A and B are shown apart, each in its own frame.
Chain A
Amino acid sequence: MQVRLHNPKRTVDVDGPVRVDKLLRQLGLRREAVLVIRGDSLVTGDALLAADDEIEIRPVISGGAR
């Protein structure tokens, strides 16, 4: 599957099917620090991602003074 990542922006290929939690561990990401987006919705940690899914993993942490 194609996984779109940010900071820096890039796309990586990952073998599927795979569960979201396992994918995040493979990529070294904390689940509380990201959202996993499939289409126009979100998926939970136990969701099974298919080999032909297109996924975006979006960081949620922002900083600086506001």
Chain B
Amino acid sequence: MKCRRCREPAVIDVRRHRAAFCRDCFLHHCREQVRRTVEKHKMISPGERALVAVSGGKDSLAVWDLLLDLGHEADGVYLGLGIGDYSEHSAVYARDFAAARGVALVEVDVRAEAGFGIPEASQAVRRSPCSACGLSKRHLLNRAARDRGYDVLVTGHNLDDEAAVLFGNVLHWQVDYLARQRPVLPSTDGFVRRVKPLIRMSERETAAYCVLKGIDYVVEECPMAAGNRHLRYKETLGQMEESSPGIKADFYLGFIERVLPLLDGVAETERGLVGECSRCGSPSTAEVCAFCRLAERAAATAVPSDVLPLAVGQLDGAGIPLEGHRPADER
């Protein structure tokens, strides 16, 4: 196989583009995908300070690296979720990357900040671990960016993530969630703008980017995510992609182009309902925001974290919605 751009031997084929690339041309392709996405959706303006949510995984490290290469001022924030060795292990990759690139990494320990780790929170509220984790991340990442004066919060959601969330939202016709599933969530009172520069890159491409760029990342999956609904949707879409390359991109990018504009009114109405949490002051559609309610219940049923199981897949499938399925105050 030859590189589409330079005709040198290829190292990766990207079937949905009907193309193969050598190392240098693939890295160029990735930078162009992100540059065009950032510009098209007006994600980050020149001179703005970005904070990248970094997990130590391929997507967040790839997006951080790409934004730095594109000349953006971007620091990282790592949330220690309290998931045993996995959290300790993941943090090392985030720290090593920051040190190698000479950029700042903000570290927030969820247990110190919120009084609970993800394992005990999911046990306490009988939500799936991914649901409690997502809710906590959205709240604490926004707070970290807002309190430190960043203009924009960057996440590493890729094409596969977004297609899987869209798939779930369509299956259940969650119109309000569909209206919120945007590449850019604008800044409003209390919310820092949130952007997803990787929406045109599959997770195979972000993983390939890291390997070819020499970025070490945590390959192991979070022990609490096994069997979750999001992964099942990805598997279904992956099987469709195998026989129809490009179908995931058509599904998600077509949604952005053709359906989201029809939902602007729904999103506007929702924004009008957002007030302020009476406890923490964060944006909320309820008197007490979802995160504070989670923290309260976690505190009320606190048990020592070292007796909690890490693999709590038995909580999954309890009918609890995952990423994308969330109240408006925790967008």
Q: Which residues of A contact B (CB under 8 A)?
A: 6-7, 30-35, 37, 40-47, 58-66
Q: With an 8 A cutoff between CB atoms, is B157 at the interface?
A: yes
Rounded to whole angstroms, the CA-CA distance of A64 and B222 in the bound complex is 8
User: Is the Cβ of B224 less than 8 Å from the Cβ of A41?
Assistant: no
A62 with B59: CB separation less than 8 A: yes
User: Complex formed: what's the CA distance from A58 to B217 in Å?
Assistant: 12
From A41, A44, A58, name the one whose CB has the most chain B CB atoms within 10 angstroms: A44
**B44 beta carbon closer than 8 Å to chain A:** no
**What is the interface of chain B mostly: helix, strand, loop, or mixed?**
helix
Chain A positions within 8 Å of B164 at CB level: 63
**27 examples of A-B residue contacts, CB within 8 angstroms:** A6-B220, A31-B242, A32-B204, A32-B242, A35-B208, A40-B211, A41-B211, A42-B212, A43-B11, A46-B1, A59-B221, A60-B204, A60-B207, A60-B208, A61-B160, A61-B203, A61-B235, A62-B221, A62-B222, A62-B225, A63-B228, A63-B231, A63-B234, A64-B129, A64-B221, A64-B231, A65-B131
Contact of A66 among B15, B134, B214, B224 (CB under 8 A): B134
Q: Does B134 contact A32, Cβ atoms closer than 8 Å?
A: no
By a CB distance below 8 angstroms, the chain B residues around A42 are 11-12, 208, 211-212
When the two chains form the complex, which single residue of B11, B133, B156, B238 contacts A32, counting CB atoms closer than 8 Å? Answer: B238
Residues of A within 8 A of B235 (CB): 61
Q: Which of A35, A41, A45, A64 contacts B204 (CB 8 A)?
A: A35
Find chain A residues with CB under 8 A from B156 CB: 66
Q: Could you tell me the distance between the alpha carbons of A45 and B156 in the complex, rounded to whole angstroms?
A: 27
Q: What is the number of contacts between chain A and chain B, taking CB atoms within 8 Å?
A: 108
The A interface, classified by DSSP as helix, strand, loop or mixed, is loop
Taking a contact as CB atoms under 8 Å apart, the answer to whether B323 and A65 are in contact is: yes
Q: Which residues of B contact A58 (CB under 8 A)?
A: 207, 211, 219
Nearest-Cβ distance from residue A23 to partner chain B, whole angstroms: 15
Question: Within 8 Å CB of A44, what residues of B?
Answer: 1, 10-13, 20
Collect the chain A residues with CB atoms within 8 Å of residue B53's CB: 66
Cross-interface CB contact of B225 among A31, A41, A64, cutoff 8 Å: A64
Which residues of chain A are within 8 angstroms of B220 by Cβ–Cβ distance? Answer: 6-7
CA–CA, A20 and B243, complex, Å: 18
User: B130 interface residue, CB < 8 Å from A?
Assistant: yes
**Chain A residues within 8 Å of B204, by CB:** 32-35, 60
